[in-house]
Amino acid sequence: MDAVEPKLVPEVFDTAVVSVALLRGPEHRLVYYNDAFRRLFGPRTIDAPAAEAFADEQAAPFITLLDQVYEDGLARQVTSPRASAGTAPGAPGPRYFVYSCTSVASRHGRGVLVVAVDTTTEVVAAERAEELSQQRQQALERYEALVSAVSQMVWLLRPDGSMTELVEGWEDFTGSPWRPVMDQGWLELIHPRDTARLVQAWADAVAGPPAMFEATFRVLTASGEYRHVRSRAVPVLREGRVAEWIGATADMEDEWRARLRERLLARVSAAPGQHLRGVFAAMAEAVVPDLTDACAVFRLPDGDGQAAEDVIATRVASAARPGLPALPALHSQSYRVGPVAREVIDSRLPRLLTFAAGHPPDGVLPDVSVRWLAAAEATSLVLVPIVVDSAVVAFAAAAGCGDSPPPSAADIALLTEVLQQAQKALRDALEHQHTRRMALILQRAQLTPAPSVPGADVAARYQPASTTAEIGGDWYDAFFLPDGTLALAIGDIAGHDLTAATAMGQLRSMLRALAYNSNRPATPADILAQLDRAAEGLDVAPFVTIVLVHLVLRADGWHAVWANAGHPPPLLIPADGPARYLAGRRADLPLCVDPDTGRSVHRRTFGAGDTLLLYTDGLVETPEAGLTEGLDRLAATATAARHLPVEELCDELRRVGDRRDDIALLAFRPRI
């Protein structure tokens, strides 16, 4: 930092253990050097330009470094070997130094402060121990790291606990005077979350074997905001004992924030885009606890609600750091947004609210969320709009709790950026949700209610898959033919989403037309053969399974005739016996495989109380179990529930299926 008035008194370095020199002006005239410098480099002419004071061959890069620091005021350091002209003990040969040059102002005017640390002993010791150049570089870098922060604050800690600021900067950074001892007053400037960790780390360093101390923590600055700093210190040994610690503290907020930003953006970018709630959950979890103590995401209705008087938002995801109260369940979390949230939605700008600990304002969030904020001793709340393709689809509420300070403008900007980073995943999830909705609308429009059948009960159920990717292929139908025959059909079309739903609608209409308009009595096998040729020729679907049943009431009961094109077999649930499958001697091929294949006809008579169940594979197939196990489970459940009315029976049986796939059921039970 550039000094605006002379502050540095070079004589403070007279007894310093490191070599220090001060040069002034553009010629870098030498105006001061301490005894440690003289012992290492020999006497130099005071007020001589650097080109004369340091005239040896190795000085040219050093003078170039001085020019750069004097010109732009930026501190620099370099590690370099050079010959020593002083009386320092040691074997002959090159010595190794770390030079740090800092722009300063003193009574001599503007100039450059040079700190040189002799690292020869460490380098030679490493070479002798390992005989590897890597050890030498590590030793040099260890000391280079120490003096790299000279442009900020350098301090000396003595055994009695007193502290001296060798290079000033603490008061400018914090707005508080330098304290000569690390007491409670000094610790009050440290972030409450970092105090205990910092104190323990320092205690461990002092109590353990001599080694470099390094810690990163937050300090309250003169602007009222916390910034991350890094402190490094090394023990100075005399006669094998620690005589003092010399350390440096540097502002590293920009570096810390850049690393945090990179980490958070990578985390939220990895959110999968299949399920909207999953994306919102990943967004909330990405910012906790690094950026906020708790975060909840509230979904808005389609169209972001800007045209509606009342906007209903629903909490769909939340996360909180350890140590806070358990989060409330996600159910019953819809509420009518208040003026604050509405302002965030309309303006598309974040809004910060601060309040007394545990006293959040009413109406900003649902009552259950407000009660949680009170229990968590929340002190701040940031509402951030989540925008996808110019539409506000949700907003996030990030809370600071306990001793956490309110977020700074930089914190809010980073929070907003991280939440917006999920654009692609959100867009994909929204597209999947829209596709799911359209497929369901189309599919349900085709799945008409079961007709009223004299002398029998008919019930149907359709349960969409819990995953968007599995919706669209299953269907059922029940209708009367011109001669009074009841036709029941159930099937499954390969494919999902709108493609399968559209093909289902076409195939259903074709089946109805072929069955209804037949010029001669046609069996289900005849109709499926015609449907197979039409579907193949018109390229309606790549693969279709279907069961078609004709039911006619006669004097001795209901007579059933059916054909099965590759579909799971119908299930007979007798009124007084175990359920069993009605499988033919051989399975016919699905439709759209070989239109010229022959189709089999099956016949059966049903009595009063018997139930014929048609179903799709989602009821019996799961990734975890085989088809046989699923069929056995369905038959056992049907047997146990056969006494239920047919509507209740369907509700009971659909619970057997895999929620990850579509399920369609069609049940027929004669009453006479």
Examine the pLDDT at 305 and tell me if it is beyond 70: no
CB neighbour list of residue 578: distance below 8 Å, 6 or more residues apart: 635, 639
List the one residue out of 523, 515, 72, 466 whose CA is nearest residue 275: 466
| More confident site: 107 or 397 | 397
Q: What is the pLDDT of residue 494?
A: 76
Compute the distance between CA of residue 647 and CA of residue 457 in angstroms, rounded to an integer. Answer: 9
Sorted by sequence, the CB contacts under 8 Å of residue 35 that are 6+ apart come out as 14, 15
Each residue's pLDDT tens digit, 495-538 = 666 677 778 878 888 999 999 886 677 899 999 999 999 988 88
CB atoms within 10 A of CB 367: 12
Mean pLDDT over residues 362-389, rounded? 93
Respond yes or no on whether the N-terminal peptide bond of residue 209 is cis (omega within 30° of 0): no
Max mean pLDDT among 52-56, 251-255, 387-391, 639-643 falls in: 639-643
Closest CA to 383 of 418, 342, 420: 342
The residue type found at 36 is A
Per DSSP, the residues of 499-512 read HHHHHHHHHHHHHH
Q: Please state the rounded mean pLDDT for residues 19-23.
A: 92
Residue 441 has pLDDT above 90, yes or no: no
Q: Identify the pLDDT of residue 206.
A: 82
Cα–Cα distances (Å) from 561 to 485, 525, 530, 551, 599, in that order, read 11, 9, 17, 7, 13
Contact yes or no for 545/495 (Cβ under 8 A): no
Beta-carbon count within 10 A of 576 CB: 8
pLDDT band per the 50, 70, 90 thresholds, residue 547: very high
Confidence of residue 154 (pLDDT cuts 50, 70, 90): confident
**pLDDT value of position 26:** 93
The Cα–Cα gap between 617 and 628 comes to: 12
For residues 541-562, give the mean pLDDT.
93
Transcribe 272-340 into DSSP letters. Answer: -SS-HHHHHHHHHHHHTTTT-SEEEEEEPPTTTTTT-SS-EEEEEEEEE-TTSPPPPPSTT-EEE--HH
188 — pLDDT class (breaks 50, 70, 90):
confident
Q: Which residues, 6+ apart, have CB-to-CB distance to 502 below 8 Å?
A: 442
**How do residues 267-294 score in pLDDT, each as one tens digit?**
666 666 557 788 888 888 888 988 899 9
pLDDT at 496: 64
Name every residue whose Cβ is closer than 8 Å to that of residue 562 and which is 6 or more positions away in sequence.
524, 547, 548, 549, 550, 570, 582, 601, 602, 604
Pairwise pLDDT comparison (362 vs 183), residue with the higher score: 362
CB burial of 142-155 (b: ≥16 within 10 Å; e: otherwise) equals bbbbbbbbbbbbbb
Domains and CATH numbers, the chain: 1-151 (3.30.450.20), 256-433 (3.30.450.40), 447-670 (3.60.40.10)
* DSSP H stretches of helix in 620-670: 627-640, 646-654
- The confidence band for 22, taking pLDDT boundaries of 50, 70 and 90, is very high
User: Per-residue pLDDT for 132 more than 50?
Assistant: no
Residue 472 has pLDDT above 80, yes or no: no
- pLDDT of residue 349 exceeding 90, the answer is yes
Any residues with CB less than 8 A from the CB of 108 and at least 6 apart, and which? 22, 24, 31, 32
Residue 297 · residue 313 · CB < 8 Å: no
Q: How confident is the model at residue 497, as a pLDDT?
A: 62
Closest CA to 354 of 417, 393, 412: 412
Q: What is the pLDDT of residue 626?
A: 75
Q: Tell me 122's DSSP state.
A: H
Which residue would you say has higher pLDDT here, 332 or 78?
A: 78
Distance CA 668, CA 459 (A): 7
Res. 91: pLDDT tops 50: no
Q: 77, 54 in Cβ contact below 8 A?
A: no
pTM, to two decimals: 0.50
